[in-house]
Structure 1
Amino acid sequence: MRKEKGFYAAKIYQAFRRNLLRGRYLGNSSLPVKIFAEPLIKLLSWRKRMKVFPADPWGTRMRFLLGWWEPETVKVCEEIIKPGMTIVDVGAHVGYYTRIFSELVGKKGKVLAFEPHPATFNFLSFNIPPFSYPNVKLFPLALSDRKETLALFEVKGSGKHSFYDVSSLAERDPQAYEFKKKWKVKAEILDEILDEHEIQNVDFMKVDVEGAELRVLKGAEKTIRQSANIQLIVEFNIGTLSLAGVLPEEFIKQLKNLGFRKILGVDDVERKLRPVKELWERAQAGYIDLLCSKS
């Protein structure tokens, strides 16, 4: 009888996980969510010592706390990142990837994490305390191709804030892209920051900045070119790129101009790397992550 119960419990767990990974169960308003999910999220947040934004869909928060967010991208990172590496995390959000990077590079590695949104940076600082993550340096900054002060558009979805008015993308997700307010944030150039910290080589970068990816990469061009084996995970979101005036074909071309000869899309549904063209429609409807390598 106990084995039978264990079998059914495992099946329920697998179905729950499968639907979460596919983006289902994301509404906050239903009674079961309020009764069962919210207390569980609070417990997980306490156990993991990780704050997540209450306004985000409960399924999103659950995936963060259970380590089920973007599983294939995480797998790619785990296969690439080795102890002792230097990692740059641009658009660190609440530190989901920053924690993973810190554990992968170990005591001899370094992680530099950048997050410009004030409230999000507060969550990031709580989630990445220096006594637990001594190999991580946090920066309350945006990155760009010049030093400047930028307007940051805050929307309801905590991972959707952008230097462009993304509320025009509301047909994708009316709640996530609901405009809230504008912030003024400071932007710096990554090459200059790395020079200040005497870092000449970067092994891996993650860039997720809702349309401003090319600006970040242009400000890191020197580092990218002199880092022979650097690999990059970058968000490819045709909607946000269009707000920046960047055509998707031009985005891919600029990545190649930076020396990234091999560019593949990360398929989180089929759990594999695929040619970018095969995932083009998904990048139009939402986003995909690209893995960019020099060889």
Structure 2
Amino acid sequence: MDAIDLHSINPWEVSFLREEVGAYFANGVELPPGATVLDVGANVGVFSAAVYERLDGDVRIYAFEPLPPLHETLARNGRDFFGGRLTALPYGLAAAEDELDFSYFPAATIFSSSWRSADNVEAERRRVTASIVEMIRRGGLGAAARRVPAPLLRGLVGRKLRVMRQLETHRVRVRPLSAVLDEHGIDRIDLLKVDVEGAELDVLRGIEDRHWPLVRQAVVEVEGWQRHREEVQAVFAGRGFAVTAVQDPVQEAADIGMVFAVRAG
């Protein structure tokens, strides 16, 4: 993973993404050699790189990143690191063909989303602050940071995340996944990973009934956990998957969680 270019994102984002990667391979999720993996919400390719290394390069990855500054790095990483095994696609996924305004945070790229804007960024900053504070209180940055009093910690983290006030708006293309599967001739999906900062259900609605049998496993990070968890679970349960919903205390503070779906057999 160290071989890919990570200079376009901040060091704390790199640490966060690397820690997050391990959480995807749990609750029955396994990858066979020669797997086909869809990385939806790829950023610069940290998850894709972990998959590539995990399978010693015996994998086919389709990585989706609609924001031009991030896609440029993802595409370069695809050429330089993945030995032709990664296809970097310059659009996002949604229920239908469209163009959407995405908010891009240059100093906090992992929070970029079509669901964030200048209107809600302060509420989002408070939510993210609560999650990071909880992570630190549980030892995420070592014992010394854990001893900092909670009010001081909230102030420090909140000031650090003021970078979320610096945002750019990019008009980007989104497509339904079924159209992409047809276009690229993808005939199986061993793992569908979705981390799209609030647009999870839109991604799933872009899969037509004829394509659901191709999906063997999925892991979806769900934002707005209290509102959307049951609906995301129902999408998979209604199509024959064994579904596990997981939320740890850090995720609870941010109202997010993970849904794992594994097809029996």
Task: Give TM-score scaled by structure 2 length.
Answer: 0.73
Q: Secondary structure at the match of 2:173?
A: strand
Distance in 1, Cα, partners of 2:4 & 2:93: 28
1:158 to 106, 109, 125: 109
1:205 aligns with 2:192: yes
Point out where structure 2 has 5 or more consecutive residues left out of the alignment: 130-157
Could you list the per-position Cα deviations for residues 96-154 of structure 1 after superposition, in whole angstroms to 9, with x for gaps in the alignment? 01112233455553111000011111121232225743111110101111000011012
Find 1:253's aligned residue among 234, 253, 257: 234
What SS class does the counterpart of residue 53 from structure 2 fall into?
Answer: helix
Could you tell me which residue of structure 2 aligns to residue 3 of structure 1?
none
Name which of 197, 207, 220 aligns with 1:220: 207
Give the structure 1 partner of residue 67 of structure 2. 117
Structure-1 separation of matches of 2:5 and 2:28: 21
- Structure 2: how far apart are the matches of 1:131 and 1:171? 36
Where does the alignment leave 5 or more consecutive residues of structure 1 unmatched? 1-44, 266-275
Alignment of 1:223-238 (within 5 A): 225-227=212-214, 230-238=216-224
Q: Is the aligned partner of 1:141 residue 2:91?
A: yes
Q: Please identify, of 69-78 and 107-116, the stretch whose mean Cα deviation from structure 2 is larger.
A: 69-78
- How far did 1:189 drift? 1.3
Q: Does 1:184 align with 2:135?
A: no
Per-residue CA deviation, residues 24-76 of structure 1 (Å, 9 max, x unaligned), is xxxxxxxxxxxxxxxxxxxxx9x63422335x3x4333465xxx422532543
Normalized against structure 1, the TM-score is what? 0.67
In the superposition, relative to structure 1, how do residues 221 and 293 fare at CA in structure 2: closer, same or farther (>3 Å)?
farther
Separation of aligned partners in 2, 1:227 and 1:249 = 23
| Cα distance between partner residues in 1 of 2:229 and 2:69 | 31
Q: Which residue of 2 aligns with 1:262?
A: 243
Higher relative CO (Cα under 8 Å, sequence separation at least 6) belongs to: 2
Alignment match, 2:180: 193
Shift of 1:195: 1.0
Tell me the number of residue pairs that the alignment of Structure 1 and Structure 2 aligns: 227
Structure 2 distance, partners of 1:143, 1:289, is 19
Aligned residue in 2 for 1:61: 14
| Secondary structure of 2:8's aligned partner | coil
Q: Max radius of gyration: which structure? A: 1
Residue of 32, 36, 40 corresponding to 1:82: 32
Contact 2:4–2:81, Cα closer than 8 Å, also in 1: no
